[in-house]
Structure 1
């Protein structure tokens, strides 16, 4: 099946010299404005590193409802998680907390991984209010500090002025249905110019859905609802100064009842953010533009579980556990970004500099209550150990100089950032007698990029960048066990994980074609993983020795590969877009393949657009995966799927529809089973069969 992708890519490449007549409605990537390259606005074509962009138009046309569906057709990026659940992006084989997520200038909550699965993800926001999502691939700590080990995800939402560009009032209502999980959605957007100095917008989105089923439709069911509210108010203090106040709220509840009163789970994920941002274009000696922001975010996950036990290993007989598991994280942040343009000798400079300060309070309270079959209380709200949580502060000072050495020919991007972080465990009587210790370190992160223009339409780009990730609090302060089998010990001596990323690529943007080819190589040092530090004889005769585990800096990883994108406008109506990704990675300590790497994969999209309607056919496929870390690890077969999208614009009413997995193929993406045992039952990981979706939006 993957051969079809290669053939399609070859066909697309044959149109490199296609006619230059281009329909104006086709947006060119080279004109897309991004902020992830320098923390100020730049054309995507002027950025030395690799950046993928998903726009609101793509989200709407492809009926995306979450991170998973928004990044389905992107090179170098894969996703984990399904609609209604935690989700996260994997960038060139690196994911989790090794990637920074920033929304409207605010850091999003951490991910917490436990029990081999993603419990807390970063998918807890609504895509309906998204203006653009940028993903900068590779290390990016020179601008964004800790966690930018493998990349950054920058999410931007619409301001009131985006709705009110040529009017005083804007109202839009939307209804949608997403068949893969029977999700029904309703959105209302209202924006109003209140005076010459003030405009306000509010968007409300409600979603009700079910679990995303496997192909056989045998997964346990659950229901979920989500509510999103985005309120923004802009104040024009003068012709050059403005203030933006934001309230961003998201709540997602899910309920799963497998056996009433015996196996039940109710989850509530809630996030609220308050932000105030000041922007000035009043040029001074120190800056041409200034952006200052202060924000507060509070995230909480509550999981209430009922678990019945037959009592076969208990002296009390059958009993029922009532678990109250939580993850709580609040972030207070402030940041300042300034830029200044000036000439020095024969060179022109655009200096970007500033600081970030973020303070995290994180806790992981877990409580258990237990009742026997007669309803007697055996355990009453007893605390359970995992890790005590932590207070973390991070301060970063950064500077980047975008230097034009030869106008329209040679540009350098030189950046440097100094970070200081301090982390200490929270006090808790549950961990009395445990020595956690404090973690304090500094990190220096350089970056150097080059953009060389052969012509106005053809650029050679190269970049080196450094990344680092502070020791995760949930690993450094992990302290729990099951007697007399094992114990996990905290380790306050962990060093930060670091990375060095190298890229070399070529970008072309012509009248009717555009393309990019990038080769990359990344080295990661001091990866954190657990290992056995000692064994002790069990106090129970006949039992195996008790193992003591502790997280240490043990890993050295190398990842390399290439990515290629090619888009051609055949005429005013037809465009073809293709992408191909090849990645390989190894643990250099053990000389084994990484399970986080995806197999060779690619996509082809062909779009026909008339005056007020369009149709898109999209193919995505992946080669079989055989390069796994161990012969006992699962391998997957190659696969390919076809989706269809259609859009009709009636003027005030815009209608989108889609058919996913048109040929009703049963397949398993490697990313969903990576690291599992070769003999594992993979039925639950098969992807949904053919399904439908539609969305209608009416603008008054």
Structure 2
């Protein structure tokens, strides 16, 4: 009903790599979570309210089997509430989220090792404005406080050893969570071309300013809270910040049962206050490791109403670009790539199966070998074994 629309979601994901058949070692990360979301609609005088509120929880854990000596766990809890208040053509949406983030890890070495827990509590406000100007035009702007706590380390670290040598774990009492401010402003236009046909355009500028990006790495000298230069010592540290700004354009054309859409995104990352590490800098594993090329998207969908089917095609293209990594001033050229997807949806709108939805697809149709521009390790030259290839 308008007073209560409830959505419940539970999920489980498992990313795993299996070694040779002789060793059968398994490295992986498991995540379990749930979401409870609700929406209530009501009016107070001339204001129409859409109230959204809910609770999210997830647990993420890394592992190595056999030899799972030092697995880490993250527990994340959050509550949120927002109220979209509409008066005429203006909608104002204030919101707030409370988040508690806990990472269970270790401190010490060998027999002297003990458990250690990082705990963070954050209250994040947000505000969005939307105005229907008229004649199909609209404008919008938003602000949100962003927050993210430290994640589990790479699954291979859960063995407690590196290349046969035992690892030390150093807790950093001075570690700060990643926080920041996200801004967005833009405009849109929509025109009806017929009873079931329309064209729409959206353009926006966005900027996000991150502070205290987090890196987990072998400890190096000069890092606050970490031992100076201790080999095989894992220590989380703040690696500076980053400012991201860019533009996004999107267009959609609907002609009866045919829908065509195209998008373009350009962004630039500027790393701030980076922390020195030898001849380079500590690199962060929170938002990505380097800038990336311009992104182009295209989507086509065709509805076959008589059969309750929707046929679709997606194209994703990243242009090549000379980019700088978070841990270096040297620029590297990342290559372009294109990925093609086909999909079909069956969703009857009447009969005994009304409400059912079945989706199927073939993703990366041409089995393209490519690497994401935002991955951390690849120089895109030399030994291809160092590249984190995306799925075929």
TM range (shorter): 0.5 to 0.7
The residue aligned with 1:417 is 97
- Measured in 2, the distance between the counterparts of 1:359 and 1:608 equals 37
How has the CA–CA distance of structure 1 residues 614 and 305 changed in structure 2, closer, same or farther, with 3 Å as cutoff? closer
How has the CA–CA distance of structure 1 residues 628 and 509 changed in structure 2, closer, same or farther, with 3 Å as cutoff? same
Residues 253-264 of structure 1: pairs in structure 2 closer than 5 A: none
The residue aligned with 1:404 is 86
Larger radius of gyration: 1
User: Runs of 5+ in structure 1 lacking a partner?
Assistant: 1-280, 308-319, 368-382, 536-543, 648-655, 690-700
Counterpart check, 1:447 vs 2:131: no
1:581 CA drift (Å):
1.2
1:342 CA drift (Å):
2.8
How has the CA–CA distance of structure 1 residues 403 and 481 changed in structure 2, closer, same or farther, with 3 Å as cutoff? same
Residues 190-209 of structure 1: pairs in structure 2 closer than 5 A: none
Residues 214-253 of structure 1: per-residue CA shift (max 9 Å, x gap): xxxxxxxxxxxxxxxxxxxxxxxxxxxxxxxxxxxxxxxx
Residues 532-547 of structure 1: pairs in structure 2 closer than 5 A: 533=219, 546=231
TM-score w.r.t. length of structure 1: 0.41
1:452 CA drift (Å):
0.7
How has the CA–CA distance of structure 1 residues 486 and 635 changed in structure 2, closer, same or farther, with 3 Å as cutoff? farther
The residue aligned with 1:628 is 324
Residues 83-102 of structure 1: pairs in structure 2 closer than 5 A: none
- Measured in 2, the distance between the counterparts of 1:580 and 1:625 equals 15
1:528 CA drift (Å):
0.8
Counterpart check, 1:580 vs 2:264: yes
User: Of residues 561, 564, 578 in structure 1, which corresponds to 2:249?
Assistant: 564
User: Of residues 180, 184, 187 in structure 2, which corresponds to 1:506?
Assistant: 187
How has the CA–CA distance of structure 1 residues 438 and 456 changed in structure 2, closer, same or farther, with 3 Å as cutoff? same
How has the CA–CA distance of structure 1 residues 556 and 327 changed in structure 2, closer, same or farther, with 3 Å as cutoff? closer
The residue aligned with 1:599 is 293
User: Of residues 279, 289, 306 in structure 1, which corresponds to 2:20?
Assistant: 306
The residue aligned with 2:349 is none
- Measured in 2, the distance between the counterparts of 1:658 and 1:339 equals 38
How has the CA–CA distance of structure 1 residues 323 and 533 changed in structure 2, closer, same or farther, with 3 Å as cutoff? closer
Q: Contact 2:219 / 2:234 at 8 angstroms: preserved in 1? A: yes
SS in 2 for 1:546: coil
Counterpart check, 1:480 vs 2:195: no
The residue aligned with 2:4 is 289
SS in 2 for 1:509: strand
1:646 CA drift (Å):
11
1:463 CA drift (Å):
0.8
Larger % of helix: which? 1
1:363 CA drift (Å):
5.7
Residues 618-657 of structure 1: pairs in structure 2 closer than 5 A: 621-629=317-325, 630=328, 634-638=332-336
1:473 CA drift (Å):
3.7
How has the CA–CA distance of structure 1 residues 548 and 302 changed in structure 2, closer, same or farther, with 3 Å as cutoff? closer
How has the CA–CA distance of structure 1 residues 481 and 399 changed in structure 2, closer, same or farther, with 3 Å as cutoff? same
SS in 1 for 2:153: helix
- Measured in 1, the distance between the counterparts of 2:372 and 2:74 equals 37
1:500 CA drift (Å):
1.6
Q: Contact 1:425 / 1:438 at 8 angstroms: preserved in 2? A: yes
Residues 186-225 of structure 1: pairs in structure 2 closer than 5 A: none
Residues 447-505 of structure 1: per-residue CA shift (max 9 Å, x gap): 10000111162210111112212222438x97834489784524263332223211111
1:576 CA drift (Å):
4.5
SS in 2 for 1:495: coil
- Measured in 1, the distance between the counterparts of 2:16 and 2:259 equals 47
Q: Contact 1:452 / 1:459 at 8 angstroms: preserved in 2? A: yes
SS in 2 for 1:677: coil
Counterpart check, 1:550 vs 2:249: no
User: Of residues 445, 462, 478 in structure 1, which corresponds to 2:141?
Assistant: 462
SS in 1 for 2:373: helix
Counterpart check, 1:389 vs 2:68: no
Number of aligned residue pairs: give it: 348
- Measured in 1, the distance between the counterparts of 2:102 and 2:274 equals 32
The residue aligned with 1:677 is 379
- Measured in 2, the distance between the counterparts of 1:338 and 1:575 equals 29
Larger % of strand: which? 2
Q: Contact 1:420 / 1:441 at 8 angstroms: preserved in 2? A: yes
- Measured in 2, the distance between the counterparts of 1:660 and 1:585 equals 28
SS in 1 for 2:212: strand
SS in 2 for 1:680: coil
Residues 408-453 of structure 1: per-residue CA shift (max 9 Å, x gap): x1110100122334444599xx964213322233110111000011
Residues 281-360 of structure 1: pairs in structure 2 closer than 5 A: 281=1, 288-289=3-4, 291=6, 293=8, 305-306=19-20, 321-325=23-27, 327-331=29-33, 333=34, 335=36, 337=38, 339-344=40-45, 346-353=46-53, 355-356=54-55, 358=57, 360=59
- Measured in 2, the distance between the counterparts of 1:617 and 1:358 equals 33
How has the CA–CA distance of structure 1 residues 499 and 567 changed in structure 2, closer, same or farther, with 3 Å as cutoff? same
User: Of residues 478, 481, 491 in structure 1, which corresponds to 2:171?
Assistant: 491
Residues 615-667 of structure 1: per-residue CA shift (max 9 Å, x gap): 999765443211232476641344668899999xxxxxxxx9999889x9x88
Residues 521-545 of structure 1: per-residue CA shift (max 9 Å, x gap): 011122111355457xxxxxxxx98
Residues 310-343 of structure 1: per-residue CA shift (max 9 Å, x gap): xxxxxxxxxx645355655554x57363525231
SS in 2 for 1:463: strand
Q: Contact 2:219 / 2:230 at 8 angstroms: preserved in 1? A: no
SS in 2 for 1:627: strand
How has the CA–CA distance of structure 1 residues 521 and 431 changed in structure 2, closer, same or farther, with 3 Å as cutoff? same
How has the CA–CA distance of structure 1 residues 518 and 431 changed in structure 2, closer, same or farther, with 3 Å as cutoff? farther
The root-mean-square deviation of aligned C-alpha atoms, in Å, is 4.9
1:688 CA drift (Å):
11
Structure with higher RCO (Cα < 8 A, 6+ apart): 1
